[in-house]
Amino acid sequence: MYLARFSYDVLPVHRQRAMDFIRREVAAAGKAGLQARLLVPLTRGQGDPALQFEVALTSLDQLEGLRQRGGETAPQDWMHAFSEILTAPPQVEILRVDGVQAGGTPI
């Protein structure tokens, strides 16, 4: 299993709008049968992202399909609108889940 984490920097004035865009990503992932969530840091260091989107993938091929679908309707339009409120390009991390959870039980 893999986790793809997208980190976004936005100004406080644009935070709610950015959260609405990310919620669209979460909804699109759910419709595709993926587990996804919006992460809102309660504390963060200087330079850390304001918001994050995380999605669990069984295959890296799912990542491309998710990014293409985006907000379901007119993906290019919503992606363009979202990019206008970002203060920096999104950071993307792709992590491989080790496969063992607490207590040594395989996932």
Handedness of CA 52, 58, 60, 61 (dihedral sign): negative
Question: Taking the complete model, does pTM exceed 0.85, yes or no?
Answer: no
- Which pLDDT tens digits describe the chain residue by residue (107 residues)? 999 999 999 999 999 999 999 998 899 888 888 999 999 988 877 878 889 999 999 998 888 776 665 545 445 677 788 889 999 999 999 999 987 666 665 55
C-alpha dist (Å) from residue 80 to 21, 63, 66, 85, 104: 11, 19, 16, 9, 44
